[in-house]
């Protein structure tokens, strides 16, 4: 018995670098029901009483050595990353991580911008939190214009300074924080055009994308937050014909080479003359369908020649320079292009809706 114990101890000591399956075999061989060590314990019953103490100790040593070795081998196997030793099965199919898609509004905005970039327009951006001066005053909105009304505009600070000391009043007016120049969320990105005209000498050719805010009830056709891309071109001798050509070029790039436009007279405080532009319905090709309500035309943007008052308010000599401006809603253009029936879909982030634009990347 003594020799068998010695032999097993030696054997155990020599085990190293085993795979998980081999370790299990070793465990069964030594400590399993019919394992060699288990058998030795069974035989211990027959050991002479005076030898029990010696053999008992040796057997316990042997068992401890085996248990310890097996643990050691298991740790080694786990550390070496032996796949067959791990508790997972590398042949199982993995968890697929779904790749996100770009939002249809981003896709559309970028497409619009890229078309105008080809015409030499630079991109200009500006703050969403604006003041009355840049959103209304410099754009020739008379003081009583309804768009200044609380109905349409989200005001942050009203145009009053009740409860302030004389010093604070002077300070807030100087800073443009309060006083007669209320702070508000911009209702259109024309404010970026104002900032550009204030800072850049003509010729100016910019495209102004951005988020805008209007105090409107949310429905399938209106939202209190939406996106615009507006454009501005100022140089010597810019005419309405240039405006028309720029819009036509854009429409044909965006809706297809057979697209037609028509211009209807309109009114904006900052342009004179002003027009609204319709594009021939891309669904029925102009024959009339339920998308264009049988007219064959879809309204896509507002535009006009920049009012001389606006040029002057922004420090540009209206006798030397003229220009045109236009503005369109990104959601609306995207709705027309992909026949999205409800504006709210753009804001709900329903993956099923967003996935439909996967191929437009």
Q: Binder to ligand PHE among 303, 311, 314, 330 (CB under 6 A)?
A: 303
In the complex, the smallest distance separating the C-beta of residue 181 from ligand PHE, rounded to whole angstroms, is 20
Residue 230 in contact with ligand PHE, rule: CB under 6 A: yes
How distant, in Å, are the alpha carbons of 32, 65, 67, 68, 89 from that of 77? Answer: 21, 18, 16, 14, 15
Give the number of residues in contact with ligand PHE, rule: CB under 6 A.
11
CA nearest to 80, candidates 1, 19, 161: 19
In the complex, the smallest distance separating the C-beta of residue 194 from ligand PHE, rounded to whole angstroms, is 11
Determine the residue with CB nearest ligand PHE.
327
Structure token digits, residue 51: 């030898």
Sole window of 71-79, 110-118, 195-203, 300-308 interacting with ligand PHE (rule: CB under 6 A): 300-308
Q: Binder to ligand PHE among 8, 207, 325, 345 (CB under 6 A)?
A: 325
Of 313 and 325, nearer to ligand PHE (C-beta) is: 325
Q: Binder to ligand PHE among 326, 331, 335, 346 (CB under 6 A)?
A: 326
Sheet holding 297-306, edge to edge: 122-123, 204-213, 225-235, 322-329, 297-306, 271-280, 261-268
Residue 37 in contact with ligand PHE, rule: CB under 6 A: no
Q: Binder to ligand PHE among 250, 268, 297, 357 (CB under 6 A)?
A: 268
Alpha-carbon distance of 281 to 327, in angstroms, equals 19
| One character per residue 182-211, x = contact with ligand PHE (rule: CB under 6 A) | ------x-x---------------------
Alpha-carbon distance of 345 to 340, in angstroms, equals 8
CA nearest to 2, candidates 45, 64, 44, 49: 44
Kindly give, in sequence order, each residue whose CB lies less than 8 Å from that of residue 16, ignoring residues fewer than 6 positions away.
73, 76
In the complex, the smallest distance separating the C-beta of residue 173 from ligand PHE, rounded to whole angstroms, is 27
In the complex, the smallest distance separating the C-beta of residue 139 from ligand PHE, rounded to whole angstroms, is 8
Alpha-carbon distance of 172 to 166, in angstroms, equals 10
Sole window of 65-73, 90-98, 216-224, 321-329 interacting with ligand PHE (rule: CB under 6 A): 321-329
In the complex, the smallest distance separating the C-beta of residue 326 from ligand PHE, rounded to whole angstroms, is 5
Residue 323 in contact with ligand PHE, rule: CB under 6 A: no
Structure token digits, residue 355: 């996935």
Helices (H), 35-131: 36-43, 49-79, 104-118
In the complex, the smallest distance separating the C-beta of residue 189 from ligand PHE, rounded to whole angstroms, is 7
Q: Binder to ligand PHE among 204, 226, 327, 335 (CB under 6 A)?
A: 327
Q: Binder to ligand PHE among 140, 181, 271, 282 (CB under 6 A)?
A: 271
Cis peptide before 203 (omega within 30 of 0): yes
Kindly give, in sequence order, each residue whose CB lies less than 8 Å from that of residue 257, ignoring residues fewer than 6 positions away.
none
What does the DSSP assignment read for 288-316? --TTTTTSSEEEEEEEEEEPHHHHHHTT-
Q: How many CB atoms neighbour CB 153 within 10 A?
A: 20
Residue 214 in contact with ligand PHE, rule: CB under 6 A: no
In the complex, the smallest distance separating the C-beta of residue 217 from ligand PHE, rounded to whole angstroms, is 18
In the complex, the smallest distance separating the C-beta of residue 303 from ligand PHE, rounded to whole angstroms, is 5
Structure token digits, residue 282: 């891309």
Binding residues among 82-101 for ligand PHE as defined by CB under 6 A? none
In the complex, the smallest distance separating the C-beta of residue 301 from ligand PHE, rounded to whole angstroms, is 7
Q: Which residues bind ligand PHE (CB under 6 A)?
A: 188, 190, 230, 268, 271, 302-304, 325-327
């Amino acid at each position: 018995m003594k020799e068998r114990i010695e032999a097993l101890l030696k054997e155990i000591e020599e085990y190293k670098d085993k795979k998980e399956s081999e370790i299990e075999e070793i465990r069964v061989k030594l400590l399993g029901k019919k394992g060699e060590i288990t058998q030795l314990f069974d035989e211990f019953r027959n050991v002479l009483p005076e030898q029990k103490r010696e053999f008992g100790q040796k057997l316990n040593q042997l068992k401890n050595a085996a248990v310890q070795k097996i643990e050691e081998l298991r740790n080694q196997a786990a550390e070496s990353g032996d796949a067959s030793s791990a508790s997972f099965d590398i042949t199982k199919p993995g968890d697929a991580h779904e790749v996100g898609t770009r939002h249809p509004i981003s896709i559309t905005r970028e497409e619009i911008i890229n078309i105008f970039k080809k015409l030499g327009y630079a991109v200009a951006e500006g703050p969403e939190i604006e003041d009355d001066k840049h959103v209304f005053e410099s754009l020739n909105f008379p003081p009583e214009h309804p768009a200044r009304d609380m109905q349409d505009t989200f005001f942050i600070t009203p145009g009053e300074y009740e409860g302030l000391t004389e010093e604070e009043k002077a300070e807030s007016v100087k800073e443009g924080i309060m006083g007669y120049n209320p702070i508000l969320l911009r209702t259109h990105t024309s404010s970026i055009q104002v900032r550009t005209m204030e800072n850049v000498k003509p010729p100016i050719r910019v495209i102004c994308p951005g988020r805008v805010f209007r105090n409107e009830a949310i429905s399938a056709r209106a939202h209190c937050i939406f996106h615009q891309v507006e454009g501005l071109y100022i140089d010597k001798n810019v005419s309405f014909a240039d405006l028309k050509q720029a819009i036509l070029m854009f429409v044909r790039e965006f809706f297809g080479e057979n697209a037609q436009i028509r211009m209807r007279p309109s009114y904006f405080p900052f342009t004179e003359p002003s027009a609204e532009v319709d594009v021939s319905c891309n669904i029925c090709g102009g024959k009339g369908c339920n998308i264009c309500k049988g007219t064959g035309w879809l309204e896509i943007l507002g535009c006009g020649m920049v009012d001389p008052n606006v040029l002057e308010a922004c420090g540009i000599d209206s006798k030397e320079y003229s220009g045109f401006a236009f503005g369109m809603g990104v959601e609306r253009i995207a709705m027309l292009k992909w026949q999205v029936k409800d504006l709210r879909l753009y804001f709900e982030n329903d993956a099923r809706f967003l996935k439909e634009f996967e191929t437009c990347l």
